[in-house]
Amino acid sequence: MDKELEHNFVALLEEHQNIVHKVCRLYTNHREAHNDLFQEITIQLWKAYPKFRGDAKFSTWMYRVGLNTAITLYRKSKRTINTYELETFQFKIKAEEYDDTEEQQLKLLYAAVHQLNDIEKALVFLYLEEKDYREISETLGISEVNARVKMNRIKNKLRTILNP
Amino acid sequence: MDELELLKKHWKSQDTQYPKVSAGDIYKMILKRSSSIVKWIFIISLLEFGLWAALTFLLKDSKNAQEFDKLDSDYLIIPLTVLGYVILAYFFVLFYKNYRRISVTDSAKVLMENILRTRKTVRNYVFFNLALMAVTFMAALYIEFDQNKAIISRAQTAAANGETFMFYAKTILLVACVLAVLAAVLLFFYWLIYGLLLRKLNRNYKELRKLDI
């Protein structure tokens, strides 16, 4: 039974692992930290998995565990260094798809998003993942109205950074 | 174009860019130990409970305590000891119940609240214990000065030599030193817990609370 549980879990996570990668991408800024957080989220998912009931979508459940781990449970390991390797590692922006202004804007945008605080990042992340405000509010535990208000403020903040 | 829309477009196009973790690696990962703050909070809290329990035992077995037992002190010390154990049991059960309530699948806010509540239980326990310890200390001092012949005679000698002030000053200084050491140990725990483990959590919790005002 345990083996079966383990097998199911690994298969599901392997399939949906991009969600975890995307959380790591927002909350860390170099490869080692990315891997470290990925591992911690995986452990938390596995620990919570026996209580996972099929009534929620596995991916929805993953968003919650992933964000909770990144925002609350995860403790940066000592080896984490605060270097900005974003352009080399995480945010490869393919030049051919975007014109120069857009490429420049994207770079600035990613850098700006990285400057947001943990909660703002969570909002941006769920927004980028096209979650509606109901889900955003339920994941964070704030009201829908406040989630909306905050999201608008973040948009303004980003706009100011881009067009000073 | 809305800035975030541009970001969203790029975000979605990146889905194939992520490293691929194999099933084998996932198997390896779930065997590893978590390093989450909850685990550390649990360990540190157990240490705190353990420290206080150990302290009670150590104080009981010391030579001074054995001397002290010869005095007529049961009427005060037994109720205080029983009270100490009842409080320990009460807080430990409360702590464990709160700890069990911590679930990573709750909303971010509820998760943070549950972690903070668990910590608060331990903190309250420590405060109660400090108060209890102060009461016990005072009771013990009272009994010593009231019944311990050696101390009474020393106090009398001091009084005869006109050194009453010095005598009491020394006693108070000694008690203060013991309490200072205890306070230092406690501060170390709090530095560990609040300084290192809960700093991020507190910051994020405040941010969430701010949103809901």
Mean pLDDT (whole number) for A125-135: 94
Mean pLDDT (whole number) for A100-122: 86
The confidence band for B35, taking pLDDT boundaries of 50, 70 and 90, is confident
Query: To 10 degrees, the CA torsion angle through A107, A110, A114, A119?
Result: 160
* Helices A118-128 and B3-13, axial angle in degrees (round to 10): 70
Q: Could you read off the pLDDT of A22-61 as tens digits, one per residue?
A: 999 999 888 888 999 999 999 999 999 998 887 778 888 9
CB B139 within 8 A of CB B133: no
| Number of residues in chain B | 213
Q: Which of B11, B21, B35 is nearest to A37 (CA)?
A: B35
> Tokens for A18?
């991009």
Q: What is the percent of chain A where pLDDT is above 70?
A: 86
> Tokens for A135?
């889900």
The interface predicted TM-score of the complex, written ipTM, equals: 0.84
| Residue B36 to residue A69, Cβ atoms within 8 A | yes
The confidence band for A161, taking pLDDT boundaries of 50, 70 and 90, is confident
pLDDT above 70 for A81: no
Q: Which of A48, A139, A150 sits opposite B108 (nearest CB)?
A: A139
Best mutation target among A31, A71, A100 (most B Cβ atoms within 10 Å) is A71
Q: Which of residues 188-207 of B touch A (CB under 8 A)?
A: 197, 200-201, 203-204, 207
Q: Which of B9, B3, B10 is nearest to A92 (CA)?
A: B10
| Residue A17 to residue B3, Cβ atoms within 8 A | no
Identify which has the larger pLDDT, B94 or A95. B94
Best mutation target among A8, A75, A115 (most B Cβ atoms within 10 Å) is A75
> Tokens for B168?
């009491």
CB < 8 Å to B207, chain A: 117-119
The confidence band for A86, taking pLDDT boundaries of 50, 70 and 90, is very low
Q: Could you read off the pLDDT of B97-141 as tens digits, one per residue?
A: 999 999 999 999 999 999 999 989 988 888 888 888 778 877 887
Distance between CA atoms of A129 and A127, rounded to whole angstroms? 5
